[in-house]
Structure 1
Amino acid sequence: MKKISILGSTGSVGTQTLQVIEQFPEEFQVVSLAAGKNISLFKEQIKKFKPLFVAVYSDKEKDELAKELEKENIQIEIFSGQKGLLEIATASENELLIVAISGTASLAPTYKAIQAKISIALACKEVLVAAGSLIMAEAKKNGVSILPIDSEHAALKQCLASVKEDSALVQKVILTASGGPFWKLPKSEFKDITVEMALKHPNWTMGSKITIDSATMMNKGLEVIEAHHFYGLEYEKIKVLFHPQSVVHALAEFVDGNMIAQMGPHDMRFPIQYALTYPKKLCPDWARLNLAKVAKLEFYEPDFDKFPLLRLAYETGEKGGSAPVIMNASNEAAVSLFLRKKIKFLDIYKIVQEAVDNHVFLSNPTIEHIIRLDHLVKDEIFAAYE
């Protein structure tokens, strides 16, 4: 049995990861779980999967969970805060750590888990965006594998398997995007976009932060930077196409002109299962893709003027250093403000662009620098708008 811990078990990816584990109970053992503030769901997960220990957001949630578990006569060690995440991430029992917390809160736990020689299944884009060079170098140093959970990067890994991920044989790769809810909306109407409108993704069921990122196309921009770090690809080889059917998740074109595409249902359990079982192939009891019912596959070039954050992601990725850190941190803050209706949709881009333009560039930030910079940028933005 593969021994697994999950950071973010009550979120979208976390709950679907547990569905995969439940589908194959003979394959996995849950060592530990970390959650935020959804104590009622977390209690049910603890009862069902019986982890050895758990962690929650803060001491307040720790006390609440302890009282709930006491009613069920469940005794288990409970950690809290950043210390709790580190305890879960570095547990000696772990064979695979699922990183499913959005944002840079998962950066330090991921880094420490790699140093503890624990393999990673990564759903959190921000880890590689903010610290990709450091994370991948540390993984190589410790002989640790980092597997993508993102549907596009899991798809790309399967496409590139035919050339053993040799980037010299790759002409280009294409990450597909549904286009989100606004790719057909005239730019002149973006000023009227509400939180409720932005949270209605046409194809995928995801957490609120990533859903807003999909509406601004920042999500695809983050994936471009991820692809650079995952597969060592130059940015000019990484392309994006809108594909409203969300059937083709990624494509790879090789130097000989041949192209491979990976297709599947828009169901996150498939890429999650791929990461959990890799390199094995298991047979889940979920709906499969029926190409005859798809009828057509459409692809369109993205409009960078309409979605300027996608262009900005390419620019900051190319620049490297602290630039992606600033972009990512300011975007996290701006999305949080938008979700709480403190700013308008178009303000997200303005805040991110201003932060990138005004920051003092660091060419080789350490993990400590990145974490401090991340907090500093967010604090400044929140202070200005709250």
Structure 2
Amino acid sequence: MQNIAILGATGSIGRSALSVIANHPDRYRAGALAAGSDAKALAAAALAVRPQTVAIAEAAREGELRDLLAQGGWTGEILSGPKAAERLAADPRFDTVIHAIVGAAGVGPAFAAAEAGKRLLLANKESVVCGGALLMNTVARCGATLLPVDSEHNAIFQCLHASGEGGRQAARIWLTCSGGPFHGRPEVDLSKVGPEQALAHPTWKMGRKISIDSATLMNKGLEVIEAHHLFDFPPERISVVIHPQSVVHSMVEFADGAVVAELGEADMKLPIAYCLAYPERIAGDVKRLDIARMGPLTFSEPDMKRFPQLAMAFEAIRAGAAAPIILNGANEIGVQAFLDGRIGFTAIAELCRRTLERLQPAEPKSLEDILAIDGEARRTALTLAADLAL
């Protein structure tokens, strides 16, 4: 039986993971749950599944969490503080780590799981965006197994199995993208949209940060960088295509002209179940795709002028290892500033551009270097955001 630590247990990925685990109690156990600051949601999840350990990043919420768990009769181990998730990721009691922490806060736990040789089911794309080759080398050196949970990268992982290693050399990755809430709406003045409009994703139910990233297409930009590192493909062989129906989760085009695609409902329980059971497959408690009635599937090129952060991601890969870290850090600051009503929607991209132009750090050689560059990018973006204030 796999004993699993779920990092980001109260978010959408964490909740979906708990649902999959609950349907297969003979195979999986949720042994540890970690969250950022939502003590009530974490306590509710813990009282439902009775893990060995719970962890909360915001140490000030430990008392509340402890009281809630005690009221429910749970007496396991409680960890708190910014390093709590890293401790769980490295803990030898848990052979599998589902990593769904949002943002660059997940970089440290990803390295901790890799260094411990864990089976790492990764939904935190920022770990790969910032960790890059350093993370992938750590996975290989320490004998860890990294399986992508993001629906697009999980689809690519499955599609690549249609060919041997030789067939990958000339293959092309096609990342599909829903287009977000503003696709096909040229009448919308993006400089005037507010958070409520940008959060209204037409297909997926996601957290606030990733929903804004989907609206700007930055989410797809981060996925381009992630695919570059996960599958060792140069940016010239990675393409993005708008697919509003979100049925085709991604595709791989091989040298002979064949295109292999993975289709399914827009439900994160699908890739989670695939990664948990890999290389087997298990029964999934998800709605089945009704192929005869699903209607037409459409594809189109993204508008990189209207959504410039997607182009920035390709440029960041070519610029070097530090550029994706800076782009990600500046974007996180920009998204929060937009959600707080301090800058406009289009100012997120402008903030990223100005931060990239301002900073030119050396290529990172360690996790400490990565975190230092991320911190510098965030401090710079915070300063520059004042010039873009509404």
TM over 0.5: yes
Q: Which AA in structure 2 matches 1:352? A: C
Could you tell me how far apart the structure 1 residues matched to 2:166 and 2:274 are? 21
3-state SS, counterpart of residue 305 of structure 2: coil
Amino acid at match of 1:143: G
Cα deviation for residue 73 of structure 1 reads: 2.5
Question: 1:169 Cα shift?
Answer: 4.0
CA distance in 2, matches of 1:143, 1:85: 21
Residue of structure 1 in register with 2:297 after alignment: 297
Match of 2:46 in 1: 46
Letter of the 2:22 counterpart: E
Following TM superposition, by how much is the alpha carbon of 1:48 offset from its aligned partner in structure 2, in angstroms? 1.6
Distance 2:187 2:131 in 1: 33
Aligned to 1:308: 308
Q: Which amino acid aligns with 1:38?
A: D
5+ residue gaps in structure 2? none
Mapping of 1:175-194 within 5 angstroms?
175-186=175-186, 189-194=189-194
Contact 1:170–1:252, Cα closer than 8 Å, also in 2: no
Other-structure match for 1:237? 237
What SS does structure 2 have at the residue aligned with 1:345? coil
Quote the Cα distance in structure 2 between the aligned partners of 1:18 and 1:385: 38
Q: CA deviation at 1:202?
A: 0.4
AA partner of residue 4 (structure 2) = I
1:367 alignment counterpart: 367
Which residue identity is paired with 2:104?
T
CA RMSD for the aligned pairs? 1.4
Aligned pair 1:71/2:71, yes or no?
A: yes
Paired with 1:12 and 1:165, the residues of 2 have a C-alpha distance of 34
Task: Provide the TM-score with structure 2 as the length reference.
Answer: 0.96
Is the CA contact (8 Å cut-off) linking 2:191 and 2:346 kept in structure 1?
yes
Give deviations 1:133-155, integer Å, cap 9, x for gaps. Answer: 00000111111110000000010
Measured in 2, the distance between the counterparts of 1:384 and 1:253 equals 41
| TM-score under structure 1 length normalisation | 0.97
User: Structure 1 stretch 210-219 or stretch 36-45: which is displaced more?
Assistant: 36-45
Rate the CA distance shift 1:66–1:166 in 2: closer, same or farther, 3 A. farther
Structure 1 counterpart SS, 2:162:
helix
| Structure 2 residue 285 is the aligned partner of structure 1 residue 285 | yes
Distance in 1 between the 2:165 and 2:101 partners? 27
Contact kept? 2:361, 2:373, Cα under 8 Å? no
Aligned to 2:195: 195
SS in 1 for 2:32: strand
1:327-346 equivalence runs, <5 A: 327-346=327-346
Q: Deviations over 1:44-99 (max 9, x none)?
A: 21112111111102222111111111222321221112221122111111111111
CA distance in 2, matches of 1:58, 1:304: 38
Structure 2 partner of 1:323: 323
Aligned AA (2:93)? E
1:2-43 deviation per Cα after TM superposition (whole angstroms, max 9, x unaligned): 111011000111111111111111110112111122222211
Q: Secondary structure at the match of 1:30?
A: strand
Question: Is residue 159–residue 251 contact of structure 1 (8 Å, CA) maintained in 2?
Answer: yes
What SS does the corresponding residue of 1:162 show, helix, strand or coil? coil
- Contact between 2:364 and 2:370, CA under 8 Å: does it hold in 1? no
- Match of residue 107 from structure 1: 107
Per the alignment, residue 263 of structure 2 pairs with 263
**Are the aligned partners of 1:322 and 1:365 in contact in 2 as well (CA < 8 Å)?**
no
Q: Please tell me whether residue 124 in structure 1 is matched to residue 124 in structure 2.
A: yes
Aligned sequence identity (%)? 38
